Amino acid sequence: MFWVIGERDLGRCTYQQCHTCFRSKSRLIQQTVADQPSSRVLPTRPFSVCGVDYCRPVYIKSPLRNHVPTKVYIAIFVYFSTRVVHIEMVSDLSTPALMVALRRFGVRRGRMREIHSDNGTEFKGASNKLNRIHQMLKFVQGGRKMILDWCSENEITWRFIPPLALHFGGLWEAAVESAKHHLLREIGIMNVSYEDMITIHAQIEMCLNFKSLTAIPSGPSDLEALIPVHFLVGISLLDVPEPSLSDVPDNRLSHWQFTQNCSHEPPQATTSSDNT
């Protein structure tokens, strides 16, 4: 019996120099995941840094009789840190329509510091208009120093993702997909009025803001799960429970009952969802 000195090192060296063994036991390169941007992790005021995107067009009833339905669009705003969602209805894809939606969003949720979006023409037009307004106010001469300082501190920065890189906007793309899913289940191919559409949007917004960010408690003594709406209003929003009307025929329901029934029961006739 012989004891070979350094046999383990010799076997390891021989194994590593064998091309056949090296290829069969090769290790795949692991792609490193980049760190989250600072806007996604730093605590800020809700909707100070947000992303915006448009959802599929929907049709609402015209206020005039014997008129064709009107096409409207849905603007989805997503807060970066906690993924709180805000929904606005837009009349068309023009820059003035987006500017009006931004004004409504700003007076209801507060002034935005950064807005992220894709490279849509309506988003670029709104960004250029905001930049022109800021530059006009910034370089005005006279006794408006206080106003100019306030406008300079509250400047809105619009950031676009790279062209043809939709994965950069995965945060608002996921919110748009969820809103389309709920909208298709609630109204389907039906044409609803303007007031009904606003009510449905508010209910979809509450549903999206009720997704838990932490583990759902398994017992009654556990703490309540953290949801995005906690960072918006501080408490949990719960819809008022209403009796089920699924067994009542639609022709016996009032207009309000029919709208609420659509929010709780999916429609029978649906169509395939359009592209974002």
pLDDT value at position 76? Answer: 92
Question: Could you tell me the pTM of the whole model?
Answer: 0.70
Strands 70-79 and 85-90, by their bridges, are antiparallel
Up-side HSE of residue 54: CA atoms within 13 Å toward CB?
Answer: 23
Residue 248: its pLDDT value, please?
72
Per-residue pLDDT of the chain (276 residues; tens, 9 = 90+): 677 777 788 888 888 888 887 777 777 777 777 777 887 888 788 888 889 888 878 888 877 666 788 888 889 999 988 888 999 988 888 878 888 888 888 888 888 888 888 887 777 788 877 777 766 666 655 545 665 565 566 678 888 888 777 778 888 888 888 888 888 777 766 777 888 888 888 888 888 888 877 777 666 666 677 788 888 877 666 655 666 666 777 667 776 666 666 655 443 333 334 443
How confident is the model at residue 66, as a pLDDT?
66
Classify 74 as helix, strand or coil.
strand
Per-residue model confidence (pLDDT) at position 148: 53
Domains and CATH numbers, the chain: 38-264 (3.30.420.10)
Contacts 24+ apart (CB under 8 A), 121-127: 122/54, 122/93, 122/94, 122/95, 122/97, 122/98, 123/52, 123/98, 123/158, 123/160, 124/160, 125/94, 125/95, 125/98, 126/95, 126/98, 126/99, 126/102, 126/158, 127/158, 127/160
